[in-house]
Amino acid sequence: MKNKSILKSFQFFLVFAIASSCDILKENPADSGNAVPSSVILSGTVSEVGGSIISNASVTIGSQTQQTNLSGTFNFGTELTDGNYPLTVSKTGYISIIRTISVKKDSPKNLTLSLFKKSAGVMINSSTGGLVGPLSIPANALSSTSEISVTNVLGSGLPNTNSNGLIVAAYVLEPNGLVFKSPASLQIPNPFPGIDPSSLIGRSGSEVLAINSSGGNLSVPINHFSEVYFEVSSDNFRYTVSDNWSEQKLTTKTATCGTTKAEEQIVLSGASINILSNSPIQNNEIFLLKIEEPITTSQRTVTISVTRKTGDKSKQLAYKINNRKYIFEMKTSSGWNKIAEVIVPEILSIAIDFGEPCHDQGIMQSGN
């Protein structure tokens, strides 16, 4: 019995000593729900446009889904690999959004996402038709009496920013997929009177809608319900992108042989936008929406990190900042004119090796 007791004590001491000295990389488990992974690659907050945070919203990126917590936040970690992903955010009673997000493990991102609350529905009698906000439904256009809603969604909660043109007005018509026996008409004031209506197109999904202009108003025929966009066509609008990297900056944080990871919090300024006086569009959000990823003009804190794998040398954490510049131009009778410039800061973490390779514990490495 005494020998068994001594053996157990020795086994416990051996396991404790190995666990204390071993510097093998521990992989993060897939994030489950609202738990914050030790290596956050993509995080963010979901709120109502112009309103409060939204808890229990579904955030899906690739095949991974989380619900926002009571603070409206979500965190994805090492379950994401580098690449471009569709990101969808939804909750009952709100207009869902979809964005394309570029994920890089050495360039963590913190997103600010917004959803529009759906407008209240209006019952429309099929035999008489009627008005729902800017939508005029003729008599006998509906197969049956239906509850119709029209939500203005121009802003940060725009459902889909994927457009070759520049979106200047947007509406969601529900119930989605509803078909009219004769066209309804969606009529709105020209949102920017300085824009020549002939440079605009209407779009519903892949369908191009002819725009009629009269008395300062724009109207398009609606044959079925979907998202409806008014946009400056790609023939009359374009933009270019350029990268402007800073010099490499060192932090004091290191992942040495006694540790596997080093972290540092860096404060990044928000996006800056300069709309020129000659632009017929004087609305910051319209240009920010053209940048596919959600952009904030607010200052934010980003956590960067470096991880040292088994057998690696010690690593010092460094970083670079890229002030990515977007130049927007619009075509006029005199040619292409610059109308706005947006600068979006992003960060890249860098690992710098130093010293000799670390001596990891072979017994733990082999799994014995």
Residue 261 has pLDDT above 60, yes or no: yes
Structure tokens at 329: 């131009």
Block residue for tokens 């256009």: 141
| Euclidean distance between CA atoms 154 and 235, whole angstroms | 22
Check if the beta carbon of residue 41 is closer than 8 Å to that of residue 77.
yes
Tokens found for residue 312: 């690696």
The domain limits of the chain are: 1-30+236-368, 122-235
pLDDT above 70 coverage of the chain, percent: 87
Cα 53 to Cα 72, 87, 112, 185, 256: the distances in Å are 5, 18, 11, 35, 40
Question: Which two structure tokens, joined as six digits, stand for 169?
Answer: 């007005």
pLDDT tens-digit map of 140-153 = 999 999 999 999 99
pLDDT band at 110 (very low <50, low <70, confident <90, very high): confident
CA of 192: how far to CAs of 172, 341, 365, in Å? 20, 19, 65
Of residues 138 and 293, more confidence is placed in 138
H, E, C per residue of 281-293: CCCHHHHHHHCCC
Asked if residue 150 lies in contact with residue 133, where contact means CB atoms within 8 angstroms, the answer is yes
Contact 163, 229 (CB under 8 A): yes
- pTM for the full predicted model: 0.77
Summarised one tens digit per residue, pLDDT across range 187-200 is 999 999 888 899 99
Report the mean per-residue pLDDT for the chain: 85
Calculate the dihedral angle through the C-alpha atoms of 224, 169, 121, 157, rounding to the nearest 10 degrees. Answer: 110
Name which residue leads in pLDDT, 186 or 334: 186
Distance CA 76, CA 37 (A): 7
Instruction: Say how many Å lie between the first and final Cα of the chain, rounded.
Output: 26
Q: What is the pairing mode between strands 109-115 and 42-48?
A: parallel
199 three-state secondary structure: helix
User: In Å, what is the CA distance from 165 to each residue of 169, 172, 230, 245, 286?
Assistant: 12, 18, 9, 28, 11
HSE value, Cβ hemisphere, 13 Å, CA-based, for 199: 21
pLDDT at 291: 83
Q: Under CATH, to which class is 122-235 assigned? A: mainly beta
The CA distance from 202 to 210, in Å, is 6
Rounded Cα distance between 367 and 89, Å, is 41
Give per-residue burial for 261-284: e unless 16+ CB within 10 Å, then b. Answer: bbbbebebeebebebeeebebebe
CA distances from 151 to 69, 155, 227 (A): 26, 12, 10
Residue 62 is which amino acid?
A: G
pLDDT in tens, 45-67: 999 998 899 999 999 998 999 99
User: pLDDT per residue over 286-340, tens digit each?
Assistant: 998 888 677 788 888 888 888 888 888 899 999 999 999 999 999 988 899 999 9
